[in-house]
Structure 1
Amino acid sequence: MIFVALLHAVNLGARRKVPMADLRALLTGLGLAEVRTYIQSGNAVFSADPETDLRGRLEAALEARFGFPVPVTLRTAPEWREAARGCPAHLRDEPVVLAFLRDPPDPARVAALRGRNVAPERWEIVDQTLYQTVPDGVRSMKLSSGVIERTLGVGVTVRNERTAQAIAAMLDT
Structure 2
Amino acid sequence: MRVAALLRGINIGPNKRIAMPALRAIVESLGYQDVETYLQSGNVVFTPKGRGDYAARLSRAIERETGHEVAVLLRTGAELAQVVEQNPYFVSDPTKVVVVFLGEELELGQLGLGDLGPYLPDELTAHGRELYVSVPNGQGRSKLMEALVKRRLPTTLTVRNWRTVEALAEMTR
State TM-score, norm by structure 2: 0.88
Cα RMSD of the aligned pairs, angstroms, is 2.0
What CA distance in whole angstroms lies between the structure 2 residues aligned with 1:149 and 1:37? 27
Per the alignment, residue 8 of structure 1 pairs with 8
Q: Residue 131 of structure 2 aligns to which amino acid in structure 1?
A: L
Q: Residue 103 of structure 1 aligns to which amino acid in structure 2?
A: E
CA deviation after TM superposition for structure 1 residue 44, in Å: 0.7
Structure 1 runs not aligned, ≥5 long: none
1:42–1:143 Cα change, 3 Å: same
What CA distance in whole angstroms lies between the structure 1 residues aligned with 2:11 and 2:149? 21
How far does the alpha carbon of each residue in 1:29-51 deviate from its partner, in whole angstroms, 9 at most, with x for none? 11101111111011011011463
**2:41 aligned with 1:35, yes or no?**
no
SS at match of 2:69: coil
What CA distance in whole angstroms lies between the structure 2 residues aligned with 1:168 and 1:41? 16
Task: State the 4+ residue runs in structure 1 displaced beyond 4 angstroms.
Answer: none
How far does the alpha carbon of each residue in 1:80-123 deviate from its partner, in whole angstroms, 9 at most, with x for none? 111123211xx32663111111112256415x335353222101
Do the aligned residues in 1 keep the contact of 2:59 with 2:70 (CA within 8 Å)?
yes
What CA distance in whole angstroms lies between the structure 1 residues aligned with 2:70 and 2:147? 16
Per the alignment, residue 78 of structure 1 pairs with 78
Calculate percent identity across the aligned residue pairs: 34
Do the aligned residues in 2 keep the contact of 1:33 with 1:48 (CA within 8 Å)?
yes
SS at match of 2:84: helix
State TM-score, norm by structure 1: 0.88
1:52–1:35 Cα change, 3 Å: same
SS at match of 1:25: helix
Deviates further, 113-122 or 15-24: 113-122
Per the alignment, residue 24 of structure 2 pairs with 24
**2:90 aligned with 1:92, yes or no?**
yes
Per the alignment, residue 138 of structure 1 pairs with 139
Do the aligned residues in 2 keep the contact of 1:113 with 1:148 (CA within 8 Å)?
no
What CA distance in whole angstroms lies between the structure 2 residues aligned with 1:107 and 1:136? 22
1:65–1:132 Cα change, 3 Å: same
Do the aligned residues in 2 keep the contact of 1:149 with 1:156 (CA within 8 Å)?
no
Per the alignment, residue 106 of structure 2 pairs with 105
**2:173 aligned with 1:163, yes or no?**
no
Give the total of aligned pairs.
Answer: 169
CA deviation after TM superposition for structure 1 residue 53, in Å: 1.9
